[in-house]
Chain A
Amino acid sequence: MTNLLEVNNVSKKFGTFTALNHVSLAVPKGSIFGLLGPNGAGKTTLIRVINQITMPDTGEVFLDGEKLQEKHIKAIGYLPEERGLYKSMKVGEQALYLAQLKGLSKAEAKKRLTYWFDRLEIGDWWNKKIQELSKGMAQKVQFVVTVLHEPKLLIFDEPFSGFDPINANLIKDEILHLRDQGATVIFSTHRMESVEELCDDIALINKSNKILDGKLTEVKRQYKSNTFEVGLRTENSLALEQELADKFSVSKAYFKTLDDELKLNIKLSENHKPNDLLSFLTTKAEVSHFVEVIPSVNDIFIQTVKNNS
């Protein structure tokens, strides 16, 4: 699979402050790419570089194999985190204006807007002013404006903020639908559960440096520690825990069960196989629970950022 977007060695300084330090990324075509990082890490600056709002000091960006240039503005749809609309302008008029700025003709923009407004069931807002709408309603309009010109690359910065769960789900489905139709999505958020759910690839930026990137599954494989979460039913849990602690590296585990059994995380060393552990455990107690611990994006995020600082 080829890459739609390639960021090569991009740096940006604001005065003495370094916002991006030689960052390189590759976003595969047709994927949902999670751009993660703590506040102030440089995500927004990177997104602005991709949008040609900010010019990088060094480095290059390629979109679909071509060096980024003015015509690519039409190929990108951007939903910024700090977003809003003209308060005193009518919804329809405003959407038409923004669509025309992206290079659509007025007639084409109107046709597509009608389609999208019907699709998101906001057709009767056309003549309302933004200040009459709730925040979530305005967000829907904004989403439509972002995707209307059918860009190859969509960049969503915290797309779900301000939505109730029903509408957040609706927007999530729309994002997946757009991906299935061939769009590539860069997705920046602090909500790790949606990264878990949506993203195929991730990159983690901390203090202006990229510290991690790759396929989500690869990253997880890389971060798993050969640890197993086990539930053991036994008469003498203290003795068993002690015995296990002598052989393996053991810590307390927390998960919900019906009985009050012994719950442990057991980390295996290189030369131990999961099966060996399981057969050993079956000789000691009744095994009610045996799961490999796969690190969540949340764990990876916290662990990597902590190690980095």
Chain B
Amino acid sequence: MNHLPLIIKREYLNKVRNKAFIIMSILSPVIMIVLVLVVAYLSQINNDKVRVISVLDESGLVQDSFKNSDNTTYNLLSGMSLNDAKKLTEEAEMYGLLHIEQFSKIEDASNHIKFYSEESPSLSLISNIESKLEEAFTAKNLYDKGVNVDMINAARVRINLGQESFAGEKTSKIDSVVKLIFGGAAGYLLFMFIIIYGNMIMRSVIEEKTSRIIEVIISSVKPIQLMLGKIIGTSLAGITQFVIWLILGGILLTVVSVVFGINVQTPQQQMVEQAVATPEINAQVQNIIEAFYHLPIANLIVAFILFFVGGYLLYSSLYAAIGAAVDNETDTQQFMLPIIMPLILAVYIGVFTVIEDPHGTVSTVFSYIPLTSPVVMLMRIPFGVPIWQQLISLVILLATFMFTVWFAAKIYRVGILMYGKKPSYKELIKWIKY
């Protein structure tokens, strides 16, 4: 008798009708949007603040370098002592005072310049002032030594290294960034999916144990059917939730940006917009779009589905086995570590090693090891992984998945009927022989 569809239906409906699930599905995108709004608003407040900095330039060399910008106003002082200048700056509640002493040797400039302020200034402000001063003094130095600065500027050559694979595919630096974003997003999505819905499966197994319905069910269906039904039903509920999030998030984002107009924009978006305005960066946007078309899209989609499903099922059967082995959620901790560790390892390898060298030994090896392969391989694929490598990895993943389901089903079969004591790893191994 095949009860799998019936079990999947119950698990699915039970999850989807759950109040917490409905609230989470609707509230999460709302919370996300509100968060984005708050961050955008806060960064705008921060940007609106104008800093006033007074400059006392006794050397008379750099006054012209300090031009007012949106965020900073420079107040040039002259003909007063340092102490007076300090007092004035402090009383006027200005942000700080930049003091440049009179000096002769331009190479010693550093020893004669100081910044005074009430609180320690931000790193970006300091480096901003430093670069302005460096530029001014360097120009002065060059001028003094009889070098024509305009000629140097005119002689400067810019290089943008064009890249092409042996097969003749053009790539670029931006290509890599786009690939990284796609790979990273796919890997991270899988990671999140496993953690959220794996836990959900585990809880639902524990619920069956604590409500003691398990023996009633087990006398009608095979444990492995129940386990698979649970995994598939919960995953479908998870996909439903993800789709709701996407649609709702999309609608909300559109509504919010229409209502609030430009206010919604994050600084990054502003940057992009400014970039588009200038022709040089406009070309870069073109590059990004081109890079997107360079992605192995068909391969990416097929591999995403296969590795996502394989990786998710592999982990969720482990979660189900853990749920079966314990009586309550607090006991799950000791068994969670071996599951979480490879997952986190996979994400770290994906983020650090794949960026560095997508086809290096570490990346390649970990894209074969079944517990890390789904995440690492998904991150590698945008960089172009030979199909045979993908197939080997997939075959290993599937074989491991079948082994894990067999193993989990054994533990599940015994575990769901065990109450009371928390089992050790040794006992779990023993259960397999029952």
Contact = CB atoms under 8 A, between A and B. Distances in A.
B262 interface: no
Nearest to B416: A53
Contacts of B208: 86
A245 B64 CA distance: 132
B213 A83 contact: yes
A212 interface: no
Contact of B215 (A15, A82, A145): A82
Interface of A: 14-15, 48, 51-53, 70-71, 73-74, 76, 78, 80, 82-89, 97-98, 100-103, 142, 145
Interface in B209-224: 211-213, 215-221
Given A14-B434, A98-B220, A70 B1 contact: yes
A103 B211 contact: no
B14 A89 contact: yes
Contacts of A82: 212, 215, 419
Contact of A102 (B218, B220, B433): B220
Nearest to A85: B213
Given A83-B216, A84-B213, 18 more contacts: A14-B434, A15-B433, A52-B219, A53-B218, A73-B1, A74-B1, A78-B215, A80-B215, A82-B419, A85-B216, A89-B14, A97-B6, A97-B10, A98-B220, A101-B6, A101-B7, A101-B217, A145-B216
A97 B217 CA distance: 10
A80 B219 contact: yes
Interface in B192-228: 207-208, 211-213, 215-221
A76 B220 CA distance: 9
A84 B209 CA distance: 9
B219 to A, nearest CB: 4
A101 B218 contact: no
B216 A142 contact: yes
A103 B433 CA distance: 31
Given A82-B419, A101-B3, A103-B1, A51 B219 contact: yes
Contacts of B207: 86-87
B158 interface: no
Nearest to B204: A86
Given A14-B434, A101-B3, A85 B219 contact: no
B168 to A, nearest CB: 59
Nearest to B208: A86
A101 B218 CA distance: 10
A217 to B, nearest CB: 32
Given A15-B430, A73-B1, A86-B211, A98 B219 contact: no
Contact of B212 (A48, A84, A145): A84
Nearest to B217: A101
Contacts of B433: 15
Given A80-B216, A101-B3, A85 B211 contact: yes
B10 A78 contact: no
A145 B219 CA distance: 12
B83 interface: no
Contacts of A101: 3, 6-7, 217, 220-221
